[in-house]
Amino acid sequence: MKTMHYRIRVVVLALVVSLFAVILWTIKSAWLSSGDYSVMPAETLSVSPPVEPDPWSSPAPDPGETVSSFPGETTAPAMEMSLPSPDPLFDTTGL
Amino acid sequence: MKKRSSSRFRAGAMLLVFFAAAFLLPASRDGNAKLYLLSAVVPGVMLLLLLLPSRFFPLDRPSLCSALSLCGFSLLTTAAYSPDETLSQGFRCIAALFFLAAGVVLIRAFRPSVPSAALPAFCGLGLLSCSILFHDLPFSFTEGGMALVLFSAAAFLSLRLRLPALLAVLGALLLLLLQRDYGSAAVWGISCVLLFWVASDSPLWSGILFCSVGSLLGIFIGISPFSADPAGLSPLSRIAAMPLIPPESLPESSPLLPAEDLFFMFGEQYGLIILFCAVLLVILFLIRGASLAQHARKAFHAALALGVVLLIGLRMLLFLSSSAGLSPFSPGSFPFLTSSLPDLFSHFFLAGLLSGISARNENDLEEDARLAMLAR
């Protein structure tokens, strides 16, 4: 009877542990298949570095269009930089 | 003792208040008069069932509370969709309580002997063969048959008659496999192998049963492999779509309630947290059954309590693992949270067996105390 009680304890413990394992697995699988990761803490999210556009993989130009010989080079005229006009209230040139 | 009874009273009161509030929530949302009525009737009936039957039968309060709470959850699920369906589900639960009483009476009256152990085996095998002989039956008596054969196997094992127990178990397994109910067959096979390992002294018998169950399952599943239904929505996607807390409005669903759908509908309505509480209630029921098996004085009571725990626990394990996609077989309905009448009957019958064993354990303890007083 003592051996029987010991075995009952082992069987029920294994059953309860496997039940909790399956519950956790179900929650994990359901959460992954729902695709909602908003509750995950920010530090556990894997942050991928920003992907810069590859200039060599630009789409093929139309026939007849002139393209620059180097990637990223633009043919547009350079923009002139203009400084903003000074505020008369803070004008200290007359001091 | 007084502190223990006051904590019991508090737990019971909390349970009743929870169910009253749970029915009031959809009633105030929909303005349905029937739901207002149910918010008063369901906790009242639960209170009566907790107080009155224990006057006539020695009931085990923790397992009765778990079973009644799960029935209350099934009523909540049906109430939100169809208040009229709740009434029929309530009658099903009350009818199932008679089987709980039958289980208690059976344990009190039963004395293990060869004829008394063979009779439930024949009844159980007859119930299991009903589904094979009569194809157009509206009910499936699988779970009732399994409960009776389990009772018989525990009685044979306590009498150290392992061959009749083995034959009864293998006969039931063969009938389950012929019905192509592979989920129930897997639950039955694993439960019986573990029961034989615990209850028989020699490992030879559990080894023989393990090989037989493994080869039978392998042969039958190899002949006609399981094929998933591609048209239906997978259980995992239904669980994934469940909210954490009860949503504002009811999800659209069919008013027809298939037995295994009640679990998922309950989760869709009340969220994952309350669904997890329902699963925890069944686990508490199992732990209570295991504690009764531990404290049983006779080998028959210990084996039977362990068999009940294994049958219900493995059924829930396979149900959840098939929902998670870990197992291709689904063993049918979730314990107690079902609308199938024969399944409810068999679940309450198994709870009644545990209640009867609890009463026998208490009698044994009282007898021990009396003998100890006489010895002084």
pLDDT tens for each residue of chain B, 376 residues long: 555 667 777 777 888 888 888 878 777 777 777 778 888 888 888 888 777 777 777 777 788 888 888 888 888 888 777 777 777 888 888 888 888 888 888 888 888 888 998 999 999 999 888 878 887 777 778 888 999 999 999 999 888 888 899 899 999 988 988 888 888 888 898 898 888 888 877 777 778 777 877 777 777 776 655 544 444 556 666 666 666 666 656 555 554 455 556 777 777 777 778 888 888 989 999 999 999 998 888 889 999 999 999 999 999 988 888 887 777 777 778 888 888 888 889 999 999 899 889 888 887 888 888 888 888 7
Query: Which tokens is A15 given?
Result: 């059953």
Query: What is the pLDDT confidence band of residue A71, given thresholds at 50, 70 and 90?
Result: low
Pairwise CA distance, residues B159 & B112, whole Å = 7
Say what the pLDDT of residue A44 is.
47
> How far apart, in Å, are the Cα atoms of A56 and each of A59, A76, B155?
9, 20, 81
Chain B partners within 8 Å of A37 (Cβ) = none
What are B66's two structure tokens? 């778990």
Separation CA B34–CA B355 (nearest Å): 34
Q: Average of pLDDT values for A59-83?
A: 55
The Cα diameter of chain B in Å comes to 73
Cβ pair A12:B317 closer than 8 A: no
Contact assignment for B240 to A3 by CB distance below 8 Å: no
Contact yes or no for B321 and A22 at CB 8 A: yes
CA nearest to B26, candidates B39, B13, B16: B39
Do B159 and B116 form a contact (C-beta atoms < 8 A)? Answer: no
Q: Give me the pLDDT at residue B258, please.
A: 56
Sign of CA dihedral B199, B205, B209, B210: positive
Residue B284 contacts A where some CB pair is shorter than 8 Å: no
CA B158/CA B153 separation, integer angstroms: 9
What is the distance in angstroms between the Cα of A40 and the nearest Cα belonging to chain B? 15
Nearest chain B alpha carbon to A3: B198
Can you give the pLDDT at residue A92?
A: 58
Residue ranges of B 223-242 with Cβ closer than 8 A to chain A:
236-237, 239-242
Predicted TM-score of the model (pTM): 0.77
Question: Which residues of chain A are within 8 Å of residue B194 when distances are taken between CB atoms?
Answer: 11
Q: Kindly list the residues from chain A whose CB atom is less than 8 angstroms away from the CB atom of residue B321.
A: 22, 25-26
Judging by beta carbons within 10 Å of its beta carbon (0-12, 13-18, 19+), is residue B348 exposed, middle or buried?
buried
Joined tokens for residue B309: 């725990």
Give the torsion sign (CA, B269, B275, B277, B282).
positive
List CB contacts (< 8 A) between A3 and chain B: 201
Predicted ipTM? 0.82
The Cα of A41 is separated from the nearest Cα of chain B by a number of Å equal to: 18
Q: How far is B334 from chain A (nearest CA, A)?
A: 14
Mutate which: A1, A12, A27, vs B, most B CBs within 10 A = A12
3-state helix, strand, coil in chain B (%, to 5): 80, 0, 20
Check whether A65 has a pLDDT greater than 60.
no
Residue B92, CA distances (Å) to A74, B75, B343, B352 in order: 79, 10, 11, 16
Give the model's pLDDT for residue B231.
Answer: 47
Helix B341-375 with B299-323: angle, nearest 10 deg: 140
